[in-house]
A and B are shown apart, each in its own frame.
Chain A
Amino acid sequence: MHLEVANLSKEFTTKEGNVSALKNVNLHIETGEFVCTVGASGSGKSTLLRLIAGLDYPTSGKITVDQVPVIGPGRDRGMVFQRYTLYPWLNVAKNVEFGLKLQGIPKAQRRERVSYYLDVVGLTQFRKNLPKALSGGMKQRVAIARALACEPKILLMDEPFGALDVQTKESMQQFLLEVWRRTGTTILMITHDVEEAVFLSQRIYVLTARPGTVKQEFQINLPENEQGARSYHVKTLSDFQRYREKITQLLRDSTVEQEVMVG
């Protein structure tokens, strides 16, 4: 898998004229990577993800997955949103199965994959529950399982834990790393939470606002356990703190610049 974003720009037309949401964004993601894009609000980071997902169209520039240009949404790019993610009339197992059904995958194979991914996200015992009976964290687990069940080339996540409380968020981050290690899925996640990005990523793209553009790329080198995933103690390391401060500073500077410009 090779995702390439080249000179990507996106303008929105509003009553006040054209607003540039993204300008000349360049990035790439390779097989099995976990990459985060961090940016302040207004940095166009959600727009970037939507463009990659094919849910919106760029003004100029190019997105390719394995050399094939993206022209619309497809099952090779799974997506997890922050909210309203589950089909409320379907139980957990049927939510996970939904994408497979859409694609016309035979029943036996569907059942196998559903039970595998329910196990991956640890929701086997809740398979018969309706979404309304689940907590926010559990709902996101179902959404992740549903996206993974389609076995996409890359999983796109738009602030998936943004609506969760701090405790749930932390356990979901740990959970996501375990899922990533176990399934080997390539992940591109958007977040405004620098700590989250540093903890999860192998690489980080820092996006600055108005117009959103890649300010800097960070390679995150933090120790991993023998299974190849990080655990919580990395947050106490001085390296972790340094990454966090650097990126936070970068975002703060760009926010100040922007406010000075507006003021």
Chain B
Amino acid sequence: MANVSVDNNQSQGLPPTIFWRIAEDIPQLLQWGLMAISIIIPFFLWWLLASFGTVEDVFLPSPPQVAEAFGHLWQQGHLIQDTAASFLRVVGGFVFAAAVSIPLGIAMGTFASIRALFEPIVGIIRYMPAAAFVPLLIIYLGIGEAPKIALIFIGTLFFNTLMIMDAVKFVPKELIETTYTLGGKRWQVLFQVITPYVVPNIIDAFRINMATSWNLVIVAELVAAEQGLGKRILLAQKFLKTDEIFACLIVLGLIGFLIDLSLRLLFRVWCRWAIK
């Protein structure tokens, strides 16, 4: 009780803080430090657990062992081949999905009629887990590239579409109406006002859904593939090479991170106007 009353006498209002500021930036140095810690501490714990823990090497390889496995895979040429195979599948599926979801999402956001026509069916299909389509896709399309690309297409199409549709709803009505009073036709509003307005949201949607396509490519490869990081992981499991599994997982994480960074870069270059 005494402490509380002293506190009240000495300070009025919220006490200042650096770490717990809400919706404000923290000092650059602190930010970089915390970001470094975010990587270093898990890595250090892993190393500690692998070196001094009671877990056997077979189950938890240490960082040097993983690095060694990584070197192996690299020298044999597997790593490049597998990464390229997985990457191309993701890009392929994603490009197809984008080619459909951008026009469809914009159309659904713009026209209540198109929305009424597609929203119910999209709303149902998107709750069907994409991975559940794998058997069907294999029956339809065999075990080549087609079913894998189709899986990524299915897995990202609906979320991309709905996210783009939602973005269109945030185009200010005044902006659309102003365009009419400047002599704009409906198609001009669609292509020259709504579309450029949602470009930043499209890039953001892609960043989020890219993670899904990385998940799905591995699922597809676990089922049937000649090459690919998922296939590599499956092979490694058969021979209990956990170090290779770890190496592949790290590669997966890093590539995903790089894709994310490049989309962010694209955002900065293309959508300078949308950066606060």
Chain A positions within 8 Å of B, measured between CB atoms, are 53-55, 72-75, 77-79, 81, 83-85, 87-89, 98-99, 102-103, 130-132, 143, 146-147, 150, 152, 156
Contact = CB atoms under 8 A, between A and B. Distances in A.
Residue from B179, B181, B188, B271 whose CB has the most chain A CB atoms within 10 Å: B181
Contacts of A83: 172, 174
Category for how many chain B residues contact A:
20 to 34
Nearest to A74: B183
Contact of B181 (A79, A88, A89): A79
Contacts of A87: 175, 193, 196-197
Interface string B137-173: 0000000000000000000000000000000000010
B43 interface: no
27 contacts: A53-B177, A55-B181, A73-B177, A73-B181, A74-B180, A75-B183, A77-B181, A78-B181, A78-B182, A79-B178, A81-B174, A81-B178, A84-B174, A84-B175, A85-B178, A87-B175, A87-B196, A89-B196, A98-B182, A99-B183, A102-B184, A102-B185, A102-B192, A103-B182, A143-B178, A150-B183, A156-B181
Interface of B: 172, 174-175, 177-185, 188, 192-193, 196-197, 199, 271-274
Given A73-B181, A84-B172, A87-B175, 16 more contacts: A53-B177, A55-B180, A75-B181, A79-B178, A79-B181, A81-B178, A83-B172, A84-B174, A87-B196, A88-B273, A89-B197, A98-B192, A102-B188, A132-B273, A143-B178, A147-B181
Contacts of B271: 89
A58 B167 CA distance: 31
B196 A103 contact: no
